[in-house]
Structure 1
């Protein structure tokens, strides 16, 4: 059972943690990030081949599952994108740092939700 966002709204159900399912979900909730995902998948595959292990692929899948978790919940996605913008365009270093902490916390919550 997926965890409810603060407002209880989900755009889509939580997808399976496979590259294909995450790509399909990302197409629905944040299609503009597909090129980034595809580049990340290519890099993860190359790292897996070079290292002879699957950890780069596991990390790729978990990261994109967390991204989809954020994007499928409108209230969370809005808070995440606002904080991310302000972390990069704040009026002071302190303000940027405060918003960067919000970004990190929202990502951590999403990561934990998909890592259970």
Structure 2
């Protein structure tokens, strides 16, 4: 990963490899307060994968954190997503437009991460 952002509107970091180590390094750079949550999620996913003899929990871990990184590496997009989630959570207005925009943000993040 390069340390330099790609212009004023570019990502803070490039999209990392979709491995636990790559995702952990990215989260440590763009959202250090979330490293503990990532570590806990990885532990749970690994335990579940062993218990179920399935890679599905590890795939879900990678998907979840890859989307998180893809969103958070653009601060404006991350702030917009949090604002939209706040609108939905508060329930003071019709959430349909906010939900549609959340879906578009997450779809774009999945595509950037190579998950689509």
Secondary structure at 1:16 match in 2? coil
List runs of 5+ in structure 1 lacking aligned partners: 1-6
Alpha-carbon displacement from aligned partner over 1:52-93 (angstroms, at most 9, x marks no partner): 12121122112101100000012211211111122112413x
After TM superposition, the score normalised by the length of structure 2 is 0.81
Secondary structure at 2:12 match in 1? coil
How much has 1:103 moved relative to structure 2? 2.0
Q: Which residue of the partner structure matches residue 14 of structure 1?
A: 15
Q: Let me know the Cα RMSD of the aligned residues.
A: 1.8
Q: Distance in 1 between matches of 2:91 and 2:29?
A: 30
Secondary structure at 1:9 match in 2? coil
After TM superposition, the score normalised by the length of structure 1 is 0.81
Q: Which residue of the partner structure matches residue 109 of structure 2?
A: 110
How much has 1:32 moved relative to structure 2? 2.1
Q: Which residue of the partner structure matches residue 90 of structure 2?
A: 89
Which protein has the bigger helix share? 1
Q: Distance in 1 between matches of 2:83 and 2:33?
A: 17
How much has 1:106 moved relative to structure 2? 1.1
Query: Are 1:9 and 1:74, in contact at CA under 8 Å, matched by a contact in 2?
Result: no
Q: Distance in 2 between matches of 1:35 and 1:105?
A: 28
Q: How many equivalent pairs are there?
A: 108
Q: Which residue of the partner structure matches residue 55 of structure 1?
A: 56
List runs of 5+ in structure 2 lacking aligned partners: 1-7
Q: Distance in 1 between matches of 2:96 and 2:89?
A: 9
